[in-house]
Amino acid sequence: MKEEIIIAGFGGQGVLSMGKILAYSGLMEGKEVSWMPAYGPEQRGGTANVTVIVSDDKVSSPILSKYDTAIILNQPSLEKFESKVKPGGILIYDGYGIINPPTRKDIKVYRIDAMDAANEMNNAKAFNMIVLGGLLKLRPIVTLENVIKGLKKTLPERHHHLIPMNEEAIKKGMELIREV
């Protein structure tokens, strides 16, 4: 098993932390992982992306030009990364941030209305965990149990009381994701 993922959106949407939690979760399962962030000078509001590789075998290079899965959270990221999904791959997008949806026919396209769901939960910070839930429904590359362990590892201890809410958000994302 080897999954090469790009997660892209605006800074402040939890793009980098979503990637970090995914990478830590892979480590908890004894997998080889790579986490490589890229963001502009303004982390909040500028575009940000992270490449995550989770693999049973050693990761030869963290630098990729094509991806198995793209999680796209804004229009500029869709324009940049839609063409970089391997044929037969998956593109997941949040309906809130995309004006012109993906058009490729050689990949599977899924929509998740994570921003709307986060607003319903009265917690904008749940957004990235809802999206992560959608990914894990389609590509169960790590278990929910190990994602919770990954959250404990990445969140400062003062925020550990938020872990049950994050778990609820992941489960919500698993329910919400729909093929377009």
Q: From the CB of residue 14, how many other CB atoms can be counted at a distance below 10 Å?
A: 23
Instruction: Report the Cα–Cα distance between both ends of the chain, in Å, rounded.
Output: 26
Residue 45's pLDDT is: 62
Read off the amino acid at residue 157.
Answer: E
180 residues of the chain, pLDDT tens digit each? 999 999 999 888 899 999 999 999 999 999 999 999 987 665 556 789 999 999 999 999 889 999 999 999 999 999 999 999 999 999 999 999 899 999 999 999 999 999 999 999 999 889 999 999 999 999 999 999 999 998 988 889 999 999 999 999 999 999 999 999
Residue 174's pLDDT is: 97
Q: Bridge partners of 48? A: 9, 39
* 177, 92 contact by CB (below 8 A): yes
For the question of whether the overall pTM of this predicted structure is more than 0.85, the answer is yes
Tell me the C-alpha distance between 143 and 87, whole Å: 26
Domains of the chain with bracketed CATH = 2-179 (3.40.920.10)
